[in-house]
């Protein structure tokens, strides 16, 4: 199965740590990062899509992406 996640966080070290943790769990960057202003929070936010292939597993709506 191929898994997809979109990681987001405030534009600070939190975002970098979130993406780094995913990369160290075998996820791969997918596309370019995004950057946008959050009007409600009055802060900049980052986003990055990541994907991961898992052999021998079937995807279902109850699959917990964070477990991988």
Asked if residue 63 belongs to a domain, the reply is: no
Q: For the chain, how many structural domains are there in total?
A: 1
Structure pTM?
A: 0.85
Asked if residue 32 belongs to a domain, the reply is: yes
**Which residues constitute the domain of residue 49?**
2-57
Asked if residue 64 belongs to a domain, the reply is: no
Asked if residue 65 belongs to a domain, the reply is: no
pLDDT at 52 over 90: yes
pLDDT range class, residue 23, cuts 50, 70, 90: very high
Asked if residue 28 belongs to a domain, the reply is: yes
Query: Residue with structure tokens 């409600």?
Result: 40
Q: Which of 58, 47, 48 is nearest to 2 (CA)?
A: 58
Query: How many angstroms separate the Cα of 64 from the Cα of each of 16, 29, 60?
Result: 22, 19, 9
């Amino acid at each position: 199965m191929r898994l997809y996640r979109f990681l987001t966080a405030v534009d600070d070290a939190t975002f970098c740590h979130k993406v780094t943790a995913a990369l160290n769990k075998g996820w791969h960057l997918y596309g370019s990062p995004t950057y946008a202003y959050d009007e409600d929070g009055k802060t900049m936010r980052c986003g990055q899509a990541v994907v991961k292939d898992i052999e021998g597993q079937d995807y279902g709506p109850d699959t917990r992406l964070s477990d991988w």
